[in-house]
Structure 1
Amino acid sequence: MLLILQLLLALTLTIRTGGYYLFWVDECISSSLPDLTDVEYLRTYYFNKDLWVQFNSTVGKFVGFTGFGLHAAEKWNNSSYVKTMRTVLDEYCKQNLPLFYSSVLDKTVKPTVQLRSEQQAGGGHPAMLMCSAYDFYPPAIDVYWLRDGEKVTTDVISTEEMADGDWYYQIHSHLEHMPTSGEKISCVVEHASFKEPFIYDWDPSLPESERNKIAIGASGLVLGIILSASGFIYYKKKSSGQWRFERE
């Protein structure tokens, strides 16, 4: 199972004065996990919510995006300010990103898996089975069905990984099928917390309380670490697939 993440550490500062709004974001970005070999540092300024000027460690200088930003970039690129920005990559990003990764993103929590019937077959209508995985981390997971040991590729409806709002995730997969005597239906779950795929066999002869196959995580999830007494570190996954750390 291939897992590609973009880790992003951000420090946001804001200034409001005289009806104007200025803020900037410091970002340490890496898409190579877990070795973090391609770390990049960005400082981006916004004025009244518009992109104004940005420093990029790869470029090594400020770049303006407005008339005012072009003027500021030229001034800063000819001052000691740009020299200070060039030191942040090594002195801050490369020092802190490995700590964040090992303390948060490198943790795993096993899912609780439930396999149950949503609808019985009858009157020409197929049966509906649902396989659900709850309370797992990280969110990347693969849930699929087997019929007599062969992967089922039709009549399957699955959700995306859904955040619970407490750093854990859930996912659900439905299978429509017409029961056949002697067939074996199984739900397979692949997750970073498992050394190998877990297979949960459907047995309609068991009572409902015993059909729920449960895999309970043995370890808790570490939610974050404290950078300083004044800030709490947390992260969220953006729609782009980036992981963002923010200090408030």
Structure 2
Amino acid sequence: MRRRRTLGLGLVLVGFAFCCVSSKDVYVFQDIDGCEFSKEDLSDMVYTVKLVFNQKLLCMYNSSLGKYVGYDAYGIINADHYNNQSWKMKERKEEVETLCKANARYYIKSETRKVPPVVIVRSSGKARYGQLSTLECHAFDFYPQAISVTWLLDGSEVTGDVVSTEFMDNGDWSYQMHSYLELVLHRGVTVSCQVEHSGLEEPLVVYWDSSALDARITKIVVGCSFFFIGLVVALSAVCWYYKKQHRGFTSLPLH
């Protein structure tokens, strides 16, 4: 779908092309749907469907006429055929609202519409301190398209080992973008993703949550501590038992 506005006229175009190739020639058939309007309330919306063969207009549906019109002998035959199909004419009439006006409302709102991104930062797989890990920063459902994503280590920008995707169109007038950072994690070093967008009053900084990794380290430390305490207690008990078994009395001399 392609959208543009010129001289106060809104235009939404949807095109389909079918191409057939022979040994000598190329045949292209196009179905081009257009929605034209100039008023904000869309009361003057005109929906057109053009059938074009090798750049020649065969016939066209115009919602203001409510029918197809042919422009050559073959186009007239097709126009009469389509006009006698009640289901097709009903569909064309409904598309003024479902295709044209529905998309035009989004188009009008897009000029001032600003939707801030939803940002998520997470690790790709299991992250470990001292090992190379990959962190992901995902920005979802924002509009307009322009956005800036920056990785920070302790507040300083990371310039290397960063890979970002192109903007992805969700198909509902919103976009998404993803960024990846490879680094060796160190305990006590904060990692964050900073996102700047016109829908945000100030840059949004989302920190990578290392609590799960820290908790795992804490569990290991606590487990080792209990192990050594248990080992010391066990060795003390063994020493006490050994001394008790070998403790004796010195015999007194006979008179």
The TM-score normalised by the length of structure 1 is 0.44
Structure with more strand by fraction: 1
TM value normalised by structure 2: 0.43
Q: With CA pairs under 8 Å and 6+ residues apart, which has the higher RCO, 1 or 2?
A: 1
